[in-house]
């Protein structure tokens, strides 16, 4: 994998584009995904309070930090903010925004975000990827040619056919686990992309079943770092997203040995990592 900085908000990467006519090497632009730490400081505090580490596309960081504090109810108004200081992170560490307040915020512990953002505090950038790699997680077996290209292209419609709630509301994300033959093992729906993936992974555990090396997870949205992280930790060797992957998601998939597919459609898809697990069937040679 070769990734280049194009602008602060995107990355250029080499990948493989597969269509009905064959496969070819190509370049793609991925949205950049990097961590931002938000810290709070107020008179008498001493060391800044580490509030949250969140994944974002670089740019407008001061606006992001201020909006987060207001939307989460940590601040009542912008007047409470005396200053904002940006602290560029060293290599592999997060950029930090220190929000200097005129007084301590109210109910800080109650307002602190739960889930991925708070659980990832202290992990950032390449450090986040390294932490996932080093974690106690299932090994991913590399099985060459396990999924045909035609099978992969058929999965979005197979998933849609099983989305009962989406069919009624049109407002839910889905995560579906398929085996190597394209048979649906399970499907989960939720208004949140992350929740849908968590539900799918949790259902496998509740059934006391194992995730096979040939299984592939299909998600209805984009493949951000945290979505790929969940799949890696569950030992899922392949993920296909209807939307785009982020730069950090591709890096994690590459280092984990995962096959990561994006922009999955009926007639085409892009392969960002782990192309060995795919085989072209009924197509021209690359």
Q: Give the tokens for residue 109.
A: 């512990």
Angle at 68 between CA 225 and CA 125, to 5 degrees: 30
Q: Coil, strand or helix: which one is 63?
A: helix
Which among 162, 158, 186 is positioned nearest to 172, based on CA atoms?
162
Asked if 258 contacts 228 with a C-beta cutoff of 8 angstroms, the reply is yes
Query: Considering 31, 98, 121, 212, which one is annotated as catalytic?
Result: 121
Of the CA atoms within 13 Å of residue 220, those in its CB half-sphere come to: 27
Which among 65, 58, 95 is positioned nearest to 80, based on CA atoms?
65
Q: Rounded CA gap, 146 and 205, in Å?
A: 24
121 classed as catalytic: yes
Active-site amino acid positions: 121
């Amino acid at each position: 994998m070769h990734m280049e900085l194009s602008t602060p908000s995107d990355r250029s990467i080499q990948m493989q584009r597969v269509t009905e006519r064959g496969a070819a090497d190509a370049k793609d632009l991925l949205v950049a995904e990097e961590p931002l730490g938000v810290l709070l400081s107020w008179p008498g505090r001493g060391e800044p309070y580490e509030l949250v580490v969140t994944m974002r596309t670089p740019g407008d960081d001061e606006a992001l930090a201020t909006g987060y504090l207001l939307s989460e109810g940590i601040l009542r108004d912008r007047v409470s903010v005396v200053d904002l200081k940006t602290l560029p992170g060293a290599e592999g560490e997060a950029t930090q925004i220190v929000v200097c307040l005129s007084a301590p915020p109210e109910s800080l512990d109650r307002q602190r975000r739960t889930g991925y953002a708070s659980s990832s505090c202290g992990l950032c950038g390449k450090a986040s990827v390294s932490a996932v790699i080093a974690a106690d997680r299932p090994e991913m077996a590399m099985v060459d040619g396990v999924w045909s290209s035609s099978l992969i292209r058929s999965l979005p419609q197979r998933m849609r056919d099983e989305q009962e709630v989406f069919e009624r509301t049109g407002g839910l994300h889905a995560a579906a686990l398929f085996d190597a033959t394209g048979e649906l093992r399970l499907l989960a729906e939720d208004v949140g992309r992350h929740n849908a993936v968590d539900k799918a992974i949790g259902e496998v555990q509740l059934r006391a079943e194992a995730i096979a090396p040939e299984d592939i997870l299909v998600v209805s949205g984009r493949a951000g770092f945290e979505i790929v992280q969940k799949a890696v930790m569950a030992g899922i060797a392949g993920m296909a997203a209807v939307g785009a992957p982020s730069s950090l998601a591709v890096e994690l998939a590459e280092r984990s040995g995962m096959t990561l597919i994006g922009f999955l459609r009926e007639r085409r898809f892009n392969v960002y990592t782990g192309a060995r697990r795919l085989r072209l069937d009924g197509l021209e040679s690359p």
